[in-house]
Every structure is written in C-alpha cells, then in structure tokens.
Structure 1
C-alpha cells in the first residue's frame, strides 16, 4: 500500500508540474520579452562609433495571438533600453491567408512599430509570411509608414558621429523569398564592421562568411517549446541546422532570435520571446 501511495504521489507531482509549465507557457512566458544583453568587441569599431547599441527583433506574427496590448508592452521594454538602431527580421503577420489583417489591425501595427525609437534608424527584411499574397502588397508600405527602411538584397552604411559605424546587408528570406546574395554584397566595403540581417538562419552556410562579422536571423521561434540540454522540440525548414541561440562559424557570429510572437499555438516553454540588445564596442573600449 505504501509503495502504491508513493507511485501515486510521484505521478501526481509529474502531472502538477506539466500543468504548471503549460499554465506558465500560455499565460506568462508568451507575454514577457526577455532583453538579451550582449557586448561584441571588434577592431573594426572605432572610438568614434563605439558603444553602438543595436536592438534586434523578429517574428511579430501580429493579428492572431499577438495583439495590441501584448506588443505595446514589449515595445515599451525595448524602448526603455534606448537602442541606436532597431533591426527587424521579418514576419509581421501570422498566417495571413487564414487570418487576413483588417484595416484596423494594420493601423494598430503601424502605430506600434512607429513608436519604436532609434536615433540612427530602423531597418527590416522580409520573412516568408510577408511574402504571402494576402499581405505582400501592403507589408512594404506598412513598414514605410512605421519609419522602417526595407532592405531586400541590398546594403547600406550606417554612420555615427559622422564616421562609418557598420555595413548593414539585408537578404530576402530563404523560405518563401528570393534571396540574391551576390546582389546584396555588390560593392560592399567589408573593412567596416559587417552585419547581415536575414530571416531564416540556415542561409548562413551560403554566405561569404570571410566578409561578415555578424549574422542576425529569426524564423525558428526557438521551437516555442524547448527542453534543457535538448533544445527545440520542433525545428522549422530554414532553421533546422541553427535553431536558436548563438553560434560561431569560422570567425562569424550568428545570433538566432526566438522572436516576439507565436504561431500555430500560443505557448512558449524554455523559449521566451526575445529582443537581442547588442552593444558594439572598440577593443578595449568602455
């Protein structure tokens, strides 16, 4: 009888833990963005451009589980960190063919994205959801109205204190998009610190890594449900090799964000929403 009670107690504890994780994952974790603070030193960063703070976000998936209040709270937390630059890695809406955005939801998203603050600019690339025919014609206009510059297989130089700070290269999504790496890198001066912004991380294996210092990608959501020491339980096409976290490939750093929103199911377990706050400094800088 005692043995039976012990087994029953263990089973009860396991069920209680599962219920607790599900409750936390569906009510708390999905709403709280984690600010991942990182400092990267580089000889390519000068004293004039040192301490450049870049906020990287991805995968908002608005208009289904992600609503105005949830995203507004996340944006307030991002703005509180006062980034110089904001980068968005694609996927504005969630499954637009199933949940077509209304005029109201479009205006909500414009208002929210416009409230993101960055003195040196806000830049974006497209994800596969942004190429959905339902929204493909409006996403670019929506980003423009929210003060984001869209980079599709192109690059630009960002300056700080009248000095070149970083090369920013935007490459279209490997999944659902039309990435053109050669076009994106045309006439790029890689003597400056070079960042590639793209949606699906597995494209990193096709990039000229010797010319790149940092790659930023999303798409994976960190699996939404992950286990310690195991990682994401479900891996998406385009993020099956690099599913979440940081990687060093040769001398290039790859950061894969969990993103802000959720899709298919509104749950996150050990894969919280993320905003990476990256501070670029000169070697030995403070």
Structure 2
C-alpha cells in the first residue's frame, strides 16, 4: 500500500510551491499569511442512503481535521473552534487526524491544556478519532493516543465501533494512517455485521477506491489541506501523498459499493504558514434515512 517518493520529486514540488508563494505579491501575500488561515468556513451537507436507519434520521456529524497545533495554529484558536463545534449541536464528532504538527516538540503544559480544551467537546453519541501522519511522526504515536483518550475520544486504529440508536445500529470504522502507519481494511471490518451502513474515518483520502471495494458507504478524510494554496482555474498546486487524487470536497466513488467521500480542508497549516483559496473548514453532515 505504501508509495515511494524520490528526493528529486519532493524538491521539485517544494520549489513549485515556494515559487507560487512568491507570486502572491503585496496584498495577496498578506491575505494568504495573516487573514485566510484565520478564516473559517462551515459546510453543511446532507448524506442519504437506504441503509441509514430511521432512528439515525437527522443525526448530525461534525468533522474537524488537521489542526497542526504548534505550527501557527494556537491553542487559543483550538479553543475557539471547540466552541464553534459545540454551537453546531453535534450528535457525533469525528477528528480525522494531524492534531499536533510536531509531537516531539510538545511540552507537558501544552499537552494538559490541549486535553482540557478537547474535553469540552460534547456529543451524545460519542467523539471518535483516527491517526494522521503527523500523529505518528516525531515519536508521537503514544502521545497522540494519550491525548485523545484523556480528551474523551475513542481512537480507532484498524477497528470499528457500533453506533446504536434505539434498536438500530450503524458502524464506524477507523484506519491507521497510510503514510506512517499500517492501515488494514480487513482488521477494521472484523466485527462488522452484514447489511449495516458503514462510515469510514481515514486520514488519507486516496484510499477511497479501496474503501469502495471493501463495502464502505461513506468516507471522511483530511490530510490534503485542500492544497493549502490554490490558483484560480487551476486548483491545488501541491497535495501530499495519498491526497493527490481526491483533494477537497465531495466525491462519488464506484466500487463493490457506491461510496461517498468527503475531504475536509482542515483548520491549520503545515510546512508554510499560508492559505490561499483554501479556507479552513469545519463540516456538518446530516444523515438522512430513506426508509
């Protein structure tokens, strides 16, 4: 499943990215550096399917992703976004990876503050998360697990959770990160019952075709940042490995099942502190039963 990327390819992409930023002269530079990264777009999307039980009709899912706390994105911003998420009255909250930008640089005081902020998130049907590549990077695997569990999140690493409402249920599956982890669809599906609606959390969007062939109905991802910098009529200049096919927004992917994929642009930045035509995002999904 892993892909190999040469040093030359990485340098070429970084050069293109850097040159594009130099092109954002004057006011464009100031906007991309200081204004757009602090903006917020809330997208609301209905998700309908014949396998969604009637008792899940109008249940609200809020997804946030890619905060990268510590690289330009502050704990004050995280606190503000937590308040925003709670104001949306979610039934479920999903975090799709990359909480800290550099876990190896994160001190105990910041860790405790991060936990106290994330604990404030409220969702009656639960809070769930998966690993991103930055969560594994910098010896962060155990730190991220500790933070999320102490914050009241269930961390899904190639496993599933049965979500129940009245006498009905759907399943939430979570994959390990594709770049630095070992994702396994077979392990994630091991306890899943047949004829249930399946939602997948995968930090990497480009696993969607494999997910469609694994019988998944709805996949939520992050990782791409929407390219972080886009050009008009062209779109994202560069996206990371495993976010090169599906870059942002909604897609319909055909496989063994018809899968709906949504790629969230995330809240923070990484590598360079710029966003241009890629506004930070929180997404609200409302489940619609067709029964």
User: Normalised by the size of structure 1, how large is the TM-score?
Assistant: 0.88
Q: Partner residue of 1:31?
A: 38
Partners of 1:274 and 1:205 in 2: how far apart? 24
Q: 2:124 aligns with which of 119, 128, 139?
A: 119
Residues 242-281 of structure 1 correspond to what in structure 2 (within 5 A)?
242-250=246-254, 251-281=258-288
Residue 62 of structure 2 corresponds to residue 63 of structure 1: no
- The answer to whether residue 226 in structure 2 is matched with residue 219 in structure 1 is no
Q: CA deviation at 1:25?
A: 2.2
Q: How many residues align?
A: 267
1:168 equivalent to 2:172? Answer yes
Please say if residues 36 and 276 of structure 1, whose CA atoms lie closer than 8 Å, have aligned partners that are also in contact.
yes
Give the distance between the partners of 2:176 and 2:52, measured in 1 at CA.
Answer: 26
Distance 1:208 1:247, change over 3 A: closer
CA–CA distance in structure 1, aligned partners of residues 122 and 241 of structure 2: 32
- TM-superposed CA distance for 1:208, in Å, is 4.5
Structure 1's consecutive aligned runs of 4 or more residues displaced over 6 angstroms after TM superposition are none
Q: Does 1:109 align with 2:114?
A: yes
Q: Which of 190, 203, 210 is matched with 1:186 structurally?
A: 190
Is 138-147 or 21-30 further displaced after alignment? 21-30
150 and 21 in structure 1: CA distance in 2 versus 1, 3 angstrom threshold:
same
Matched, 1:141 2:146: yes
**TM-superposed deviation, 1:63:** 1.7
Normalising by structure 2, we get a TM-score of 0.86
Q: In structure 1, what is the Cα distance between the partners aligned to 2:33 and 2:80?
A: 17
How many angstroms apart in 2 are the aligned matches of 1:17 and 1:225? 10
Aligned to 1:76: 83
Q: Secondary structure at the match of 2:33?
A: helix
1:16 deviates by 11
Measure how far apart 1:119 and its partner are: 1.0
Match of 1:10 in 2: none
Which structure 2 residue ranges, 5 or more long, are not aligned? 1-21
Distance 1:143 1:210, change over 3 A: closer
Q: Which runs of 5+ in 1 are unaligned?
A: 1-14
CA distances 1:150-208 after superposition (whole Å, capped 9, x unpaired): 00001111112x23342100011111111111111124224222101011111222224
Which residue pairs with 2:12 in the alignment? Answer: none
**Corresponding residue SS for 1:48:** helix
Write the distance in 2 (CA, Å) between the matches of 1:16 and 1:224: 15
Q: CA RMSD in A?
A: 1.9
Pair 208,37 (structure 1): closer, same or farther in 2 beyond 3 Å: closer
Point out the more displaced range, 68-77 or 140-149.
Answer: 68-77
Which of these two proteins has the greater Rg computed from alpha carbons?
1
Secondary structure at the aligned position of 2:36 is classed as coil
